[in-house]
Amino acid sequence: MFYKWYTNLSNRTIAITIVVCICMLYVSYTFNTCLIASINRTWKKAHTSITTMTTPTEETEAPQIKILGSIVRIVPLTGDGIGFDSKNLVNASDGSPKYRFLRQQGLRPSRHLPDALIIGVKKSGTRALLEFIRLHPDVRAAGCEVHFFDRHYAKGLHWYRHHMPPTIEGQITMEKTPSYFITKEAPKRVYHMNPSTKLLVVVRDPVTRAISDYTQARSKKKDMKRFEELAFLNGTSGGIVDTTWGPVKIGVYAKHLERWLEYFPLSQLIFVSGERLIADPAVEIGRVQDFLGLKRVVNEKHFYFNSTKGFPCLLKSEERSSPHCLGKTKGRNHPRIEPQAVDRLREFYQPFNLKFYQLTGINFGWP
**Which segments are annotated as binding site?**
123-127, 204, 212, 330-334
Is residue 178 a contact residue for ligand PPS (CB under 6 A)?
yes
List 35, 50, 261, 278, residue binding ligand PPS (CB under 6 A): 278
List 332, 340, 347, 350, residue binding ligand PPS (CB under 6 A): 332
Using CB atoms within 10 Å of the CB of residue 45, give its burial: 0 to 12 exposed, 13 to 18 middle, 19+ buried. Answer: middle
Using CB atoms within 10 Å of the CB of residue 273, give its burial: 0 to 12 exposed, 13 to 18 middle, 19+ buried. Answer: buried
Q: Which is nearer to ligand PPS, 77 or 257 (CB)?
A: 257
Is residue 127 a contact residue for ligand PPS (CB under 6 A)?
yes
Torsions phi, psi of 271, nearest 5? -110, 120
Q: Which amino acid is at 226?
A: R
3-state SS class at 197? coil
List 34, 50, 168, 326, residue binding ligand PPS (CB under 6 A): 326
Tell me which stretch binds ligand PPS (CB under 6 A): 51-59, 63-71, 79-87, 118-126: 118-126
221 counts as catalytic: no
**Angstrom distance (rounded) from CA 116 to CA 292:** 8
Q: Which of 4, 66, 123, 188 is catalytic?
A: 123
Q: Which is nearer to ligand PPS, 75 or 130 (CB)?
A: 130
In the complex, minimum distance from the CB of residue 89 to ligand PPS, in angstroms, rounded to a whole number:
30
CB 203 within 8 A of CB 124: yes
Q: How far is CA 105 from CA 62, 78, 99, 102, 108, in A?
A: 14, 15, 10, 5, 9
Sheet holding 64-67, edge to edge: 50-53, 64-67, 70-73
List 112, 188, 324, 330, residue binding ligand PPS (CB under 6 A): 330
Q: Which is nearer to ligand PPS, 166 or 178 (CB)?
A: 178
Q: Which is nearer to ligand PPS, 49 or 306 (CB)?
A: 306
**Angstrom distance (rounded) from CA 248 to CA 279:** 25
**Which segments are annotated as binding site for 3'-phosphoadenylyl sulfate?**
123-127, 204, 212, 330-334
Query: Using CB under 6 A as the criterion, which residues of the chain lie in contact with ligand PPS when the complex forms?
Result: 122-128, 178, 212, 215, 277-278, 311-312, 325-326, 330-332
| Catalytic positions | 123
